[in-house]
A and B are shown apart, each in its own frame.
Chain A
Amino acid sequence: MQRVMIIGATSAIAEATARVYAKRGDALALLARNQERLQSMAEDLKIRGANKVLTRVIDVNDTENHTTSLDGTIAELDGVDVVLIAHGTLPDQRACEADISLTLNEFATNATSTIALLTHLANHFEQQGKGQIAVISSVAGDRGRQSNYVYGAAKGALTIFLQGLRNRLAPKGVQVLTIKPGFVDTPMTAEFKKGLLWAQPEQIAKGIVKGIDKRKDVVYLPFFWRYIMIIIRSIPERIFKKLKL
Chain B
Amino acid sequence: MKLTLSSSPHQRVRRDTSQVMRLVILAMIPGIMAQVIIFGFGVLIQATIAVITAVITEAAILQIRGRSAKFALNDFSAVLTALLLAVSIPPLLPWWMTILGTFFAIAVVKQLYGGLGFNLFNPAMAGYVMLLISFPAAMTLWLPPQSLASIQPDFVNVLTIIMTGFTESGHSMDQLRMAADGITMATPLDSVKTALSQNYTYPEALDEAIFTNNLNASAGAGWAWVSLAYLVGGLFLVKINVINWHIPTAMLAAAALLSAVFYIADSDSFASPIFHLLNGSLLFGAFFIATDPVTASTTDKGRLVFGAFIGMWVIVIRTFGGYPDAVAFAVIVMNMAVPLIDYYTRPRTYGHTAKRARKP
Tell me if chain B binds chain A.
no
